[in-house]
Chain A
Amino acid sequence: MPPSRNPSVKTWSEKLHIYLGLYFLVFLWLFAASGLLLNHAWRFAEFWPQRQQSTREQRISIPDATTDSARAADLMRQLGLAGELEWTTVRQPPERFEFRVARPGRTIDVKADLSRATATVQEIRVNGWGVFRTLHTFTGVRINAPTSERDWILTKLWSFSMDAVAAGMVLLVITSLVLAYGRREKWISSAIALVSGILLCGFFVFGLRWL
């Protein structure tokens, strides 16, 4: 390889490219493979028909908290549940309080009857394929639910790791461009490859709305 104009930039780009690539390798495999699963209804990866459901009733003490999320957190602690609080709702009469806790592989609906101090816990468990798929989309927020917030520490960590993978991919692309620039004998073929990618991607991002 011919020496680049600034060898330290090239050397550091190469090191960063290798280290980031290796650190995020399994993350990348996970998100790539789960993305593929989400786009194809492959039978071998079915999880919903094989789900397991269970229901139990448990006595609870009435939570003192005033907000719905605090009440749900109190009941989750009493019922020994962990996960991301998806939603809460107060049914009529107001003594009925319901919420959903979710995490990859498990969805738990809690229906609390505060007048009787009991809660019905309905749990749905899915197999490993279900877990794998949900990890791809497990952000704790939904684009059409502006008030939802991440409340589980592990959701926050997982969501942070998604951002980290995204930032890592951007850095990998930047360092790959620096490294490609350093290979002068490949400039023309590299430019053809890059421009082909840009044109194809640009067609879908910008071009389709003009068709």
Chain B
Amino acid sequence: MKRLPVWTRDLHLYLGLVLSPFILLFAISTVLLNHRWQRTPTLPAAAKQTTSIDVADGAGTLAHARQLLDQLHVTGEIDYVRHNAKAERLLIPVSQPGLTTRVEVDLRARTATVEREAQGLGGALIYLHRMPGPHNVAIRGNWIYLRWWSVVTDSVVYGVLLLTASGLYLWGILKAERGIGWLMLVAGTATVGAMITAICAS
């Protein structure tokens, strides 16, 4: 039993260090999102390129879109696939941290226009903060690395919960910081409670 505080202290130390880059990622991207950060364009225009492609049947599906993207060497998470059957055109926006690619396919002419736009480090942090998110759930995670990221974000959350639990335990056995510690805990809880009550009840 005497070893429990030592183990907990080590767990808190190592877990905190592993998670610290992720905590910084979420903290910085929170500020960027909260202040509507927008990338300052550094390039005169997004890089645009038109090429011929082979078009198979089944336009509008995710598998079909992925097959077209493979031909164009475009990788990333497909945001959505919009098939305009009347105009025989496909729109496939693809994202990855720090880069967005817009692919427009002319099914009749069998050509594809690929437009790449770098989003910079801020854009990458914002993208990772928002992914996988609550939108387009049916197709989200169509890129393997986004599925990995989804597992990583879940692990970060569970890790943070474990970190706070171990932190509470370590504070509990540290008698010297009881008074101010309780004051901070109560003040923080009261601040959250008062703000949520005001937002929801006013």
Binding site for B on A (CB under 8 A): 15, 18-30, 32-33, 35-36, 38-39, 41, 82, 103-105, 131, 133, 135, 138-139, 141-143, 146, 154, 157-159, 161-163, 165-167, 169-170, 172-173, 176-177, 179-180, 183, 186, 189-190, 193-194, 196-198, 200-202, 204-206, 208-209, 211
Contacts and interface: CB of A to CB of B under 8 A. Distances in A.
B139 to A, nearest CB: 13
Contacts of B80: none
Contact of B180 (A19, A21, A172, A194): A19
Nearest to A148: B36
A193 B157 CA distance: 17
Given A173-B24, A177-B17, A209-B124, 20 more contacts: A18-B181, A18-B184, A22-B171, A22-B185, A22-B188, A25-B189, A32-B160, A36-B154, A38-B134, A39-B134, A104-B196, A104-B200, A163-B31, A167-B27, A177-B20, A197-B17, A197-B18, A200-B21, A201-B25, A204-B149
Contacts, number: 189
Nearest to B77: A208
Contact of B181 (A22, A27, A30): A22
B16 A176 contact: yes
Nearest to B150: A39
Contacts of A135: 196, 199
Given A23-B187, A27-B192, A28-B164, A166 B28 contact: yes
B27 A209 contact: no
Contacts of A162: 30, 34
A139 B29 CA distance: 13
B23 interface: yes
Contacts of A15: 177, 180
